[in-house]
Amino acid sequence: FSRARAMPELPEVERARRLIHDHAVGHVITGVHRPTPLDDKVFVNVPEGAFERALLHKTLRESHRHGKQLWWTLADDDKKGGIKKEESGEDAPSTSSANIPMFHLGMTGAFVARGVEGLQYYNSKASGMGDWPPRFTKLVVTFANGAELAYVDPRRFGKIKLVPELKDVIGGLGPDPYHDMPNAEDFVKLFAKRSIAIKSALMDQKLIAGIGNWMADEILYRARVHPECRSNELSVTQFAAIREQVEYVVRVACEANSDHDLFPNDWLFHVRWGKTEGAKVNGDAIKFIEVGGRTTAYVPKLQLKTDGGPPAIAESTKTSPTKKRQAAAANLTSEQPTSVGRRKAPIKASTQTPRARLPRAAAIAAASALAR
């Protein structure tokens, strides 16, 4: 078995999606079985028999993933084996009768295919993974081609749902950095106005989907950014480094198919577990703190709380001299009266030199002389 230390994040869920795609996509579901009574902690708002009715005799068209969310596209299958009606893809019609199977792997959830090497977590209590179905199996789905998939979850923090609308689950999620990485400008826009620690911002699924605890630590270590730095105080240069490392860490982890033993040897990942005293990465000491309630590993020597330059938000809101002059002119115009009944503009001191005035008697005499 491949080994995984952490709870499922984007790479682990992508591995599950690929497993399902490789062994079951394109085949009719011939059986849906639960080895144990319905676990309502895992099956959320799914009545007895509902999941079976939603899947049985349907064709699995595709397995999809966005962030940590996994779902299946199902379609009705006619007697000739053709597709009559797609029921749950992203392009399917919006209908309240659609039942889209959604999976969230929680802390220790995983999909296993019978006879195929699976993913086992180091901190999992699962044993006998060679037996079928494996211990702690919550769901077994069989297919016309003979493939069998089991959803296994020892700690039962995963969730299985049937949802009528895909947007109900993924509509509020940020972009997926594996297949929809934001460009540099959009990446800054996602984070630059958030006044929270950058690690917490990276783990906010509404900003960017799929990054969890270990990935955030790895990204910030490689970007040389302290995890407690506030997101709205980071510079454009720091955001560029973070974006580069998000892209790198996600890509490499997925290329390794989430087998943690295949991750690069210089990654913080390999030595961040257990808060080991004296732990080092590449010769540098690791310190453990809490950020947003999550255990956080970082390297004080490299990840300093120093000024990285003007905050990106300040850079993006700077006003050019031309715009300042235009704004001043507009403000001046707005002070002038525009209609009867509106408040008059303030009286301004004249800049002209006032004409000298003659005494009243002298003025009268001068007027009389002119009259003659």
Domain with CATH 3.20.190.10 in the chain: 2-170
Q: Which of 122, 127, 152, 148 is nearest to 137 (CA)?
A: 152
* List 68, 138, 161, 199, catalytic entry: 68
- What pLDDT digit, counting tens, does each position of 86-99 carry? 443 444 333 334 68
Residue-level pLDDT at 123: 52
Q: What does the alpha-carbon distance between residue 251 and residue 183 come to, in Å, rounded to a whole number? A: 16
How many CB atoms neighbour CB 83 within 10 A?
12
According to CATH, the topology of domain 184-312 is: Helicase, Ruva Protein; domain 3 (1.10.8)
CATH 1.10.8.50 domain range(s) in the chain: 184-312
Q: Which of 14-18, 315-319, 341-345 is predicted least confidently?
A: 341-345
Mean pLDDT of 129-156: 92
pLDDT band, very low/low/confident/very high, at 5 (cuts 50, 70, 90): low
pLDDT of 118 reads 72
pLDDT band at 274 (very low <50, low <70, confident <90, very high): confident
Instruction: Please determine, for residue 296, whether its predicted confidence score (pLDDT) is greater than 60.
Output: yes
Task: Answer yes or no: is pLDDT of 142 > 50.
Answer: yes
Catalytic residue among 8, 11, 101, 177: 8
What does the pLDDT read at residue 131? 86
| Residues found in the chain | 372
Q: What is the mean pLDDT of the chain?
A: 82
Q: What was the pLDDT predicted at 311?
A: 85
What is the pTM (predicted TM-score) of this model?
0.78
Whole-Å CA distances, 75 to 116, 174, 180: 26, 28, 26
CB atoms within 10 A of CB 11: 27
Q: Comparing 72-86, 101-115, 256-270, 332-346, which segment has the lowest mean pLDDT?
A: 332-346
- Selection from 234, 204, 207, 242 nearest residue 313 by Cα: 234
Q: Is 8 in the active site?
A: yes
Name the superfamily (CATH) of residues 2-170.
MutM-like, N-terminal (3.20.190.10)
Counting Cα atoms < 13 Å in the Cβ hemisphere of 215 gives 30
Over 50: is that where the pLDDT of 3 sits? Answer: yes
Tokens of 11: 């790479």
Q: Angle between the 236-255 and 213-223 helix axes, to the nearest 10 degrees? A: 130
Give the pLDDT band of residue 61 (cuts 50, 70, 90).
very high
Note the pLDDT of residue 312. 79
* Residue of 9, 87, 148, 228 with catalytic role: 9
**Model confidence at 23: pLDDT above 50:** yes
